Amino acid sequence: MFGKLSFKGGVHPPYNKGQTAALKIEILPPPEKVIIPLSMHIGAPAKVIVKRGDKVKIGQPLTEPGGFVSSPTHSSVSGEVSSVGSFPHPLGQHLTAVEITNDNNDDCIEPAPLGKDWREAAPGEIVQKVSESGIVGMGGASFPTHVKLSPPSDKKIDTLIINGAECEPFLTADHRLLLEKTDDILCGTLILRKILGAQKTYIGIEDNKPDAIEMVKSKLSDSKFSDIKLTVLHTKYPQGGEKQLINAITKREVPSGGLPMDVGCLVQNVGTAYAVLDAVCNGMPLYQRVVTVTGPTVKKPANLLIRIGTPVKYVLEHCGVDFAATKKVIMGGPMMGLAQSELGAPVIKSTSGLLALDEIHDGIRSYNCIHCGHCLKACPIHLSPSVIAKFVDKSIYDEADKWNVLDCMECGSCAFVCPSKINLIHFMKLGKFHVMAARKAAAKKAEEKKE
């Protein structure tokens, strides 16, 4: 086992995990209706294959992939398709989704595991099962897992890293999975290792989870898990970012504009490893996930196993949220999560937490940059947020591009430490939007010239 590892940069926000860290995972009863969006992943939205009036079972496909970088969705309840239309989405928009009225019978499809021992299966067979099961990154990025497990032939993956850092404040869903589903996560890790043919496999856990560290350490004494190494990470945000995790564990640095595969690494979340095991060995697609529900206005904080598509309001009501005192609801963590404008939006595959907060900070006055350099020191990507922000503020987007604004992971560390209270993360996001738009426009113009 390694010593406590970390990366250069980052911050130490109040972690506030005490409310739920010791609470075992509970099963949330399903709601009367679920809303399953077509888009719960990076890439093309899925295509609907059901219609209003269709009877469905738990685990039944509702959609098919809309392209290679896409993922199918499955019913999380049994019942009847009551609508296919526009519904609130956690991204703040109204997007196409399948609404299902629950018949409360919990009828399930016949589980369809791989059909053979995964050790004897070809990697492509396992990847196909992962794809059919609708598995995406469970840590928040929601990148289709089968795509991540299919790197180009010239990108040899020699190192697999399982991310158990869970560095976002308040969230403890991964922590509980590590404690309660340890064997399954480690078996899922071995399946991922086989697919990639990785020579080295690590599972990284921050040192603020000593019980999870001890649990995993005890399991790794079993010879069947001997190829997995435990790495204890220094507690720091955003230690769970894949580039930061790679740097902390391997000392490799993903190049600007590059991907982990460029340095022979691949990172998967512990929840993803568990979902892979469930699909390959138990034959069940991704239709539910563990979510931390907490915050100052939550009377009964919990780690809940929630059906995908469950409305946020239903979850909060179950946990006794004081809606009168609640000023903001965030899906995810406080650093990178999204404030919800409509509580009718559903829990989706990437929902790691629901936070109910009792105060908001509107209109915080910002002051001129004092050139203190705090944002430079905090940035885990080693950017210059204050410089980029000035270019973006003046609409000089080509310079923001030259200063690598697209490398920003939007972690918010820069804004967290800024003594002038400049909303640096706003400028970084805005700059990325305009730079990407400019690049697309240039590419389109180049194509038109060819024609």
Alpha carbon distances (Å) from 30 to 155, 314, 331:
42, 9, 19
Whether residue 449 is predicted with pLDDT greater than 90 in this model: the reply is no
What is the pLDDT at residue 366?
A: 80
The beta-strand segments (E) located in 2-56 are 25-27, 33-37, 47-48, 55-56
- The model carries a pTM of 0.94
pLDDT tens track for 369-387: 999 999 999 999 999 999 9
Q: Please say whether the beta carbons of 239 and 109 come within 8 A.
A: no
Alpha carbon distances (Å) from 388 to 19, 146, 316, 393:
38, 35, 39, 9
What tokens were used for 392?
């973006």
At residue 4 the predicted structure's pLDDT band, cuts being 50, 70 and 90, is confident
- What mean pLDDT do residues 53-69 have? 96
Whether residue 139 is predicted with pLDDT greater than 90 in this model: the reply is no
What is the pLDDT at residue 141?
A: 80
CA-CA distance, 316 to 309, in Å (whole number)? 14
Cα of 262 vs its chain's centroid, Å? 21
Q: Please say whether the beta carbons of 303 and 176 come within 8 A.
A: yes
What tokens were used for 39?
């888009």
pLDDT tens track for 407-438: 999 999 999 999 999 999 999 999 999 999 99
pLDDT, mean over the chain: 95
292 Cβ neighbours under 8 A, 6+ residues apart: 20, 170, 171, 172, 173, 301, 302, 303, 304, 352, 353, 354
CA-CA distance, 408 to 421, in Å (whole number)? 19
At residue 283 the predicted structure's pLDDT band, cuts being 50, 70 and 90, is very high
What is the pLDDT at residue 5?
A: 83
What is the pLDDT at residue 2?
A: 43
Starting at the earlier edge strand, list the strands of the sheet with 79-88.
Answer: 33-37, 94-102, 79-88, 55-56
What tokens were used for 133?
């099961």
- What mean pLDDT do residues 379-401 have? 96
At residue 444 the predicted structure's pLDDT band, cuts being 50, 70 and 90, is confident
CA-CA distance, 273 to 404, in Å (whole number)? 32
Whether residue 20 is predicted with pLDDT greater than 80 in this model: the reply is yes
What is the pLDDT at residue 290?
A: 98
CA-CA distance, 445 to 410, in Å (whole number)? 29
| Peptide bond just before 255 cis, omega within 30 deg | no
CA-CA distance, 54 to 36, in Å (whole number)? 15
